[in-house]
Structure 1
């Protein structure tokens, strides 16, 4: 590392605390966010420490040009942000804000040493430090995505492992409430358990409630119809409830045919009629 790069390295480390405070002062009120300006003093100090470590890690790249040490910070903080449920865009916005603060200090150093700094030095520093920021954001995004995907997978496993997906409400009538995208239930094991449970409960009718399904497409509807056909082979009638207006509109636009299946707007209406009939 040449003399001027060493001086820039040392200058930036001397201003770590000032940069962290400027970043903390730039925060705004953000609901349900670790970055919110009205966070507790404990959270603020926690963010300050993280920022100090982040800055030192970025500055260290000037010394050896290596990005190897960036991964540790990115993985640790991205994992914490994902577990807290902070949206990724918030973290990216704060990366952007701090980059601006950081490069103001680089500009201040250049202004102090205009007579001795060469143009190629400025270009090299700008390239190296911007690459360090970009690499950190890339790593942060990657690790955040990995944790988020793992959380979604865990949630799906919880849904999949529910011991009683079919709720028996009488000797012959059961209810299957679906939540989320129908595609989330696209599993032979899930469908098989529905069939087995409906048969074991000796149901003559299964009500599939779509109140918790936000949207539907042709592929998802085909999955639903396959379940209906399989139930029919077992001698079990199917009733569908809770078709939301947006789903009904999509069904019409896609030309989907629900006419062969008994439908109700509300689950309670279907249950009332079915229990009365039986």
Structure 2
């Protein structure tokens, strides 16, 4: 039965591919079609069909490697696992219907063909799910590491003054990363004043405020002053309604005002150099 399937696929590969693309586009949601061009979709589909058919002849290391490469590609393209596994079923159905329509088998052998296709595609589906899951987990892990490396950097802006801009939600794990970066950065840059900018933090609840207070206390313990800037009106209202005590932390509503206050603490000020124009510069003294 395998030889019949192989011969049919070899003789109708282009027709099978076109039919597969047409059917899968009908089944695909916006996530699949929006992120890639039609050319990329067709090209990836061709690669998928060729990979599927190669398993009829090959069940070796080369096939496993091709499978891993393809899984990595579709993960990057954002194809969900359900779309990929359904693609195998659609491919199997196209081959089954094509062989029947061309009357290449009699009615008595149709069940054998069905089980033959199932026996061929089932292990492949399992393998694809395993490879896809492993690839996805590895990709997510690498992305998480990359985000942690980029998360909450302490940026020295002037001698003795550093800023830590916070963007996005803050959970317990990220709060630990913020604390570590903050303390290491204060020591590394010899910061005397640190501005924590929460302009990009969408919500400040009790937990977030607790982490910020802890960070401010830790900064004071290593000999620097901490200032909280970027407090929007809605954030201030939330802090008051929750009864959060920020008395031990200097607060400013904008980074600009926070910077001015930090310069005063450092007994420095910003002066204009030259006439006021687009080309004029400021100088810290």
- TM-score under structure 1 length normalisation: 0.69
More divergent stretch after superposition (146-155 vs 115-124):
115-124
Asked if the contact 2:20–2:90 (Cα under 8 Å) also holds between the matched residues in 1, the reply is no
The superposition leaves residues 176-221 of structure 1 with CA deviations (integer Å, 9 ceiling, x where unpaired) of 22345543462475243133146x23x1x32101233455666655
Q: Relative contact order: is structure 1 or structure 2 higher (C-alpha 8 Å, sep ≥ 6)?
A: 1
Tell me the residue number matched to 2:163.
Answer: 175
Tell me the residue number matched to 1:196.
Answer: 187
Q: For 2:226, what is the secondary structure of its paired residue? A: strand
Per-residue deviation at 1:21?
A: 2.2
Tell me the residue number matched to 1:259.
Answer: 246
Unaligned runs of 5+ in 1: none
Tell me the residue number matched to 1:122.
Answer: 114
Distance 2:86 2:264 in 1: 63
Per-residue deviation at 1:229?
A: 0.9
- TM-score under structure 2 length normalisation: 0.67
Mapped pair 1:14 → 2:5: no
Asked if the contact 2:157–2:163 (Cα under 8 Å) also holds between the matched residues in 1, the reply is yes
Distance 2:150 2:41 in 1: 35
Mapped pair 1:145 → 2:140: no
Per-residue deviation at 1:117?
A: 0.8
Q: For 2:258, what is the secondary structure of its paired residue? A: helix
The structure number with the bigger radius of gyration is 2
Stretches (4+) displaced over 6 A: 244-253
Tell me the residue number matched to 1:103.
Answer: 93
**How many equivalent pairs are there?**
254
Asked if the contact 1:178–1:211 (Cα under 8 Å) also holds between the matched residues in 2, the reply is yes
Asked if the contact 2:183–2:218 (Cα under 8 Å) also holds between the matched residues in 1, the reply is no
Note the aligned Cα RMSD (angstroms): 3.9
